[in-house]
Structure formats: C-alpha cells, structure tokens
Amino acid sequence: MADVRKYEFEEVQYTLEPGIVRVRSEEPLKGLLKKKMKAAGILSERILAAYRVDFGRELEITRNSLAVEIYLHFKVQQACLKMMKLFGKRRLLNAVLRHTEIIDCGEKHRDNNRFLWDILAWFAAKFRISGR
C-alpha cells in the first residue's frame, strides 16, 4: 500500500505520497483562491513544508509551479461551472470537471505535464502574477 498522508490548510484537504500531491478542489479551496493567486502560493508553501517534514526530502516541484498548477486547475473548474450554467450539462464539460475535482501535482517522473506547469510558472514569475 502506498504511503499516503492526509492534511488540511484553511480547510483545504490534500494528501501527500512519494513524489505526488493531491489537492481536493472543493468549497474551501474556492474560498481560499477567490482572494487571489497569492493564496495558491501560500498553500503551496504549506504543502512543500509538510512534504519536507514527512518524507525527509524536498518535493521536486517549485513553489511557483505548484501554485500555478493549483490555481489554473481551479480557474478551469470555475469556467466549466459557468459554461454549464449558460449551456447546460455537456459531456465535454463533465469530463473536464472530473479532471479538476482532485488536482494531482507530481514530480517529473510521476506527472507528464510538469514541464507545462514549470513553463507557466516561469511566465507567472516573470510577470509577477505568482503571488510573491
């Protein structure tokens, strides 16, 4: 069985496993991130600190990459929910929503999209939208 550890920060639930973080995209996350992108950075710092303590090593994801991944998954989820109100339930929107319920953030060897989040994090930092 995998080594899974459960946590909460500001009522946002997340789990840690070797090389991966899973953040539940529910009301507490919505409330936290509606404030601004900076909240995703603070959540990321908490997650990375908990990972360091629990596994005795750094999670190989930068703070900004993790923050951008969490924030953009949240924004996509919110956009889908708005489109559903306008156009009704659609198969594509339901599929996208299923993929945003739990935000899986993994190291490069566990997450084939890590390079994308790293690139977007670079742009976020360059244009000072990552919350620091």
Q: What are the angstrom distances between the C-alpha of 45 and each of 10, 38, 67, 81, 93? A: 13, 11, 9, 28, 31
CA distance 131 to 120: 14
The overall pTM is greater than 0.95: no
**pLDDT, tens digit, for every residue of 3-29?**
777 887 888 999 999 999 999 988 899
Domain residue limits, the chain = 5-126
Closest by CA position to 93, among listed 78, 75, 79, 80: 80
State yes or no: pLDDT of 48 exceeds 90: yes
pLDDT digits (tens, 9 = 90+) for 80-105: 888 888 887 777 888 888 888 899 99
